[in-house]
Amino acid sequence: MTSSNPGDNSEFNSELAAFRKQIDDIDDKLIELLIQRIGIVKQVGALKMSNAPGQCPIRAGREADMVRRIMKKFEGTSFFPAAAGAIWRTLIGASTSVESQLTISVFAPGQNNDYYWLGREYFGAFNPTIKQPNIKRVIGDVMDGKASVGIIPMPHHTDTEHWWTNLMQPSKEMPRIFAQVPFIYPDSMDKDAPIGLALACIEPEETADDLSLVVMETDYNVSQHRLQTAFATVKMEARWITIASLSPSSRHHLLEIPGFITPEHAGMKSLLASLGPASVLQTYYLGSYAAPVLMSNTEKKPALHASGNGKK
């Protein structure tokens, strides 16, 4: 009689041991390659240090394109693309820290550690982290050089404190939004799940698919409908996040616009020309970030644009 216990089956045990040996051999090769990879990363860090000392090593655009490419490689395989993306995000975070130690400042009011965990997920668990009770102190840490990166909530229309107005300066010394965290979303994510933004004193980089945060300061009498019509006329989209009234004579519209939007963007130039300087008093470009990836758990296939608002 054949035993029903696999442990008593010598043929089964032998075959299982052979498979495990193959897995261990592959792991050894992966380890070797990772050690080689980190050696090259150290050389990159040394090259950057000699040519641009003190510069933040983050290359947000390249990182996003890299993760998208890796996830695409795993489409149609038995390995979840989201898992591959998470592995490479950790690998990228570790590599960046080898180039230069990153300190992360996160918004963590009271016992709320949502943005602390989002920061760890995106940048890794090996970076020193500062917890701050309000968003302006996170921005201050980045401006003062106490932190390389700040993690703050995505603005919401219910916000009473418009922290984003602190970034409305054209100076290159001002922090810029360069990433949305998390970068990979499950399709079943709760609509109230926290969504964060990462900012640093770096210039955002264009990728194949981006979103931008733009503030339009308009005359108080310019309606949202008129602005929406102007966007439609130049064939641009815009999502209104919130509106702040900082003075009796003007309004500040915070918009998320698809694309890598800068003062040189042709659509924005046409839009502003059509509205005229009497209507749009000033435009502020707060940063751009790669559109996050929405994962389908059933198809194991990524799609883009998972942007939304998180709950503080």
**CATH assignment at residue 119:** 3.40.190.10
Instruction: Supply the pLDDT for residue 309.
Output: 46
Closest CA relative to residue 184, chosen from 119, 311, 89, 91: 89
Q: Per-residue confidence at 186, pLDDT binned at 50, 70, 90?
A: confident
Identify whether 225 is part of a domain. Answer: yes
Which pLDDT does position 53 carry in this prediction?
Answer: 73
What is the distance between the alpha carbons of residues 92 and 90, in angstroms, rounded to a whole number?
Answer: 5
pLDDT exceeds 70 at position 2 = no
With 60 as the cut, is the pLDDT of residue 297 above it? no
Q: Does any domain span residue 169?
A: yes
Can you tell me the mean pLDDT for 172-197? 86
C-alpha to C-alpha distances, 139 to 147, 197, 205, nearest whole angstrom: 9, 12, 20
Q: Write out pLDDT tens, residues 241-281.
A: 999 998 999 999 999 999 999 999 999 999 999 999 999 99
Is residue 1's pLDDT more than 60?
no
Examine residue 234 and state whether it is found in any structural domain, yes or no: yes
Range of the domain at 168: 86-304
In a domain, 199, yes or no: yes
Confidence of residue 310 (pLDDT cuts 50, 70, 90): very low
**Among 12-21, 150-159, 161-170, which is the least confidently predicted range?**
161-170
Question: Do the beta carbons of residue 174 and residue 234 sit within 8 Å?
Answer: no
Residue 50: inside a domain: no
Q: Which of 29-33, 56-60, 75-79, 85-89 has the lowest mean pLDDT?
A: 56-60
Percent residues over pLDDT 70 in the chain:
91
In a domain, 213, yes or no: yes
Torsion sign over Cα 276, 280, 285, 291: negative
Is residue 122 assigned to a domain?
yes
How many distinct structural domains can be found in the chain?
1
Residue 240 contacts residue 209 (beta carbons within 8 Å): no
Return the closest-CA partner of residue 151 out of 53, 48, 289, 252. Answer: 289
**What is the pLDDT, as a whole number, of residue 296?**
63
The predicted structure's pLDDT at residue 169: 81
pTM for this model (two decimals):
0.86
CA 37 to chain centre: 24
Per-residue pLDDT band for 185 (boundaries 50, 70, 90) equals: confident
Query: Which position has the token pair 């106490």?
Result: 146
Q: Which of the listed ranges 43-52, 84-93, 213-222, 296-305 does the model predict with the highest average pLDDT?
A: 213-222
In this prediction, residues 83-90 reach a mean pLDDT of 92
65 part of a folded domain: no
